[in-house]
Chain A
Amino acid sequence: MSEAKTAETGSSATPSRSRIAVLGFGTMGSGIAQVCAAAGHSVVVVEPTDALLEAGRRRIGAFLDEGVRRNKLQPDERDAVLARVEATTDLEQCAGVNLVIEAVSEDLAIKVDLLGRVAPIVADALIATNTSALSVTEIAAFLPAPHRVAGLHFFNPAPLMPLVEVVEAVQTDPETTAALVAFARDLGKEPIVTKDRPGFLVNRLLMPYLNQAIADYDAGLASAEDIDVGLELGLGYPMGPLRLLDLIGLDTHRHATEAAYAQTRDVHYAPPPLLERLVQAGRLGRKTGRGIYEYEAKS
């Protein structure tokens, strides 16, 4: 993928151009930190424990090693990217950053508590949240300078997916939007600007489609395999909706679509009964070895 190459080899850019704080070193946080570091920024990642920092660092290392193995990245480039990522449990280390990207748990209380503590440290930095299901406007309302807050929604895996949604809260001022668009473009991403409404743009479109797939499968439209193959071959989609659901995680999708339903009361976002049953049964998708499909145990 050429996008991957852009992100991975972007390390030839001017080093240390700006300093970015990434809050959270999970799947999204590590992907975002990697993309920023690969573009030449120096990144400080914050997590509350050393174990979480260690895990995040390993995740980036593994991703970059794979790039080296596939000859898309030189070993010294990998080392340079890793060297630009600083991991700390000390929030004070965020002092002096130009931008904060928050990628912690999808929980409003956790996010606003953390951002509330970081805001006085980072002074006039822009604050971006990578939330996918919460209201950016509500998060901004808890912070001292809501006009400098916006959503910056990366897709998983962040180093490979070209699109980034720049989400304008009600309070976001145009300069903030413009700065984030320029920042995302500089990362080698394709930014699009959208409004802070449930699901933003991409998930607004994706969730009803995924819900329809579960409901139609449940109703016996066709086998899971035939629904997926039909859409893969008929429309050229990279992955059919039921396989995609198993990859996303049925609990993750349920949480997102429930949140959109709660805000819209639009039945197309309501979790279909089979989704609820599969989650109740612990069949969450690939990560548990079974969701809509059954997977062989990972060796």
Chain B
Amino acid sequence: MSKTPVRRVGVLGAGTMGVGIAVVLLRAGHHVVMRDTTDERVQTGIDGVTRFLDRSVELGKLDEATHRDAIAALAGTTDATELADREFIIEAIFEDTETKADAFAELEALCSSDTLFHTNTSTLSVSAIAGRMRDPGRVVGTHYCNPAPLMRLVEVVRGRKTTDAALQQTVEFLQGLGKTTVQCRDTPGFIVNRFLVPFENDCIRALEDGMGTVESIDAAVRGALRYPMGTFRLLDIVGLDIHRAVSLSLYEQLRDPRCAPPPLVDRMIAAGDLGRKVGHGFYSYEDSGLMGT
């Protein structure tokens, strides 16, 4: 990875995905400025990145020198003008087309005409996010899987106006990060969520229809399909509220009933059964202290 040139990268959004992507960039030797809307958020993001890198050293996955260089190559800001020298902008902000499109348009006015703009959206249209730019050819969808530092896959999405050159540079950049890329059309859910979300809803409907229990359906998914985790365990980790939002977004775009959140999802949300983050979803976690990160 050391052979790839060091890049100046701006990461928009210091949440879970922004932190994960920053870790990936720093490990590959790039320089990162994280931007978020408040100093507190920026600091939380910096702390998150630092914690991850510290832990990597403890686990023997990162050497001291790389760790020191990575920390030195990380900065945070709330000020857009500090991103003016960036060669890549990667946005991982709130999943809303307008917000993302505005962020890109604002930075396009500040950055060089060569800067590439990557959006980490998982369900929105890359073409729409590029919609407010004078030069939308430089916008590419790069959907990282969560947790970004551990998952090799990045979905590369070509918007309506994305140029061949932007796409190719993006793929090379991602390969330099140690990622495996797949390319897909700018279509709702790309590959991973387009298949995952309806499958999850099918499992929920099988439960509603009395085809099995939470436990037996998870056992079937693991034991016959050999998936690494049962669907209901996974949904509890994702969070029922998040699943509902992603599901509804796909349904509104595709009108495929498999994407529509089944009634049980609404009932669970109404009852506060949001998943592991609150201690109960399809399963109960209240007595279990062993579920760490």
A residues lining the B interface (CB < 8 Å): 155, 161-163, 165, 190, 192-195, 197, 200-202, 204-206, 208-209, 212-213, 216, 220-223, 226-227, 229-231, 233-238, 241, 268
Of the residues A201, A216, A233, contact of B151 by C-beta under 8 Å: A233
Contact check, A238 vs B203: say whether CB atoms are below 8 A apart: no
* Cβ contacts under 8 Å, B73 to chain A: none
Number of chain B interface residues as a range: 35 or more
* Those 4 A-B pairs whose CB atoms lie nearest each other, nearest first: A163-B223, A230-B191, A226-B182, A233-B153
Q: How does the 8 Å CB contact mask read for B183-206 relative to A, with 1 for contact and 0 for none?
A: 111010011101110110011001
User: Dominant SS at the B interface?
Assistant: mixed
B residues lining the A interface (CB < 8 Å): 145, 151-153, 155, 180, 182-185, 187, 190-192, 194-196, 198-199, 202-203, 206, 209-212, 216-217, 219-229, 258
Bound-complex Cα distance A220 to B185 (A): 8
* Cβ contacts under 8 Å, A208 to chain B: 198, 202, 258
A43 to chain B, nearest CB (A): 23
A144 to chain B, nearest CB (A): 29
Question: Chain B: which residue is nearest A162 at the CB level?
Answer: B223
Pairs across A and B, CB under 8 Å, 29 listed: A161-B224, A163-B220, A163-B222, A192-B212, A192-B216, A192-B217, A192-B220, A194-B212, A194-B216, A194-B220, A195-B210, A202-B224, A204-B202, A205-B221, A208-B198, A209-B198, A209-B202, A212-B198, A221-B191, A222-B182, A227-B191, A229-B153, A230-B184, A230-B190, A233-B145, A234-B153, A235-B228, A241-B195, A268-B258
* Cβ contacts under 8 Å, A223 to chain B: 183
Contact check, B185 vs A235: say whether CB atoms are below 8 A apart: no
Contact check, B219 vs A234: say whether CB atoms are below 8 A apart: no
Contact check, A231 vs B219: say whether CB atoms are below 8 A apart: no
Question: 15 more A-B contacts (CB under 8 A) besides A221-B187, A230-B182, A235-B196?
Answer: A165-B224, A201-B217, A205-B220, A206-B225, A208-B198, A208-B258, A213-B195, A216-B194, A221-B191, A222-B182, A222-B184, A226-B183, A226-B191, A231-B191, A241-B195
Beyond A192-B212, A204-B211, A226-B183, whether A231 also contacts B206 by CB under 8 A is no
